[in-house]
Amino acid sequence: MHKQALLPSSGQLESLETTIFIWLLTTMKVVVKNWHAIAQWKWDTGNNDADEGDVEGDVCGICRVPYEGCCPTCKMPGDDCPLIWGECSHVFHMHCLLKWIGTAASKQQCPMDRRPWVTAERKVDPS
């Protein structure tokens, strides 16, 4: 009995292994979850018609960077570089559009169709 008490019981070893196993599972779960979130991230531009066949339909008309990316002045896409919708149904990075509207050449018009730019009442829902 006395000799047995000096050695770690099999029960203790098992619980250590279980702890490591659970830790691994938890860590992997977090990694997979994050990857999933990044892979699924996409602005809802309302232009998800695959039948349109317009390969440039999902890029900002000003900087030609996809909406999922950010404008040239930003480093991180997402809430810090939002999109802006116009009444004419065109979508741009807000920063690109504001920079464009700020130039005299723009005449406050949409750069795609030259109609007077009117910002549409549409908010990005970060669901």
Residues that bind Zn ion (CB under 5 A): 60, 62-63, 70-71, 74, 81, 88, 90, 93, 95-96, 110, 112-113
CA angle 38, 52, 107 (to 5 degrees): 85
Beta carbons of 90 and 113 less than 8 angstroms apart: yes
In the complex, minimum distance from the CB of residue 104 to Zn ion, in angstroms, rounded to a whole number = 19
Our CB check for Zn ion shows the closer of 88 and 124 to be 88
- Whether 84 and 77 have beta carbons less than 8 Å apart is answered as no
Residue closest to 61 by CA, chosen among 99, 19, 118, 6: 99
Q: Which is nearer to Zn ion, 74 or 101 (CB)?
A: 74
Q: In whole angstroms, what is the distance from residue 127 CA to residue 109 CA?
A: 31
Give the shortest CB-74-to-Zn ion separation in angstroms: 3
In angstroms, give the least distance from the CB of 116 to Zn ion.
Answer: 10
User: For residues 15 and 78, which CB has a smaller minimum distance to Zn ion in the complex?
Assistant: 78
Indicate the residue among 36 and 114 with the shorter CB distance to Zn ion: 114
Q: How buried is residue 97: exposed, middle or buried, by Cβ count under 10 Å (0-12/13-18/19+)?
A: buried
Residue located via tokens 């390969």: 55
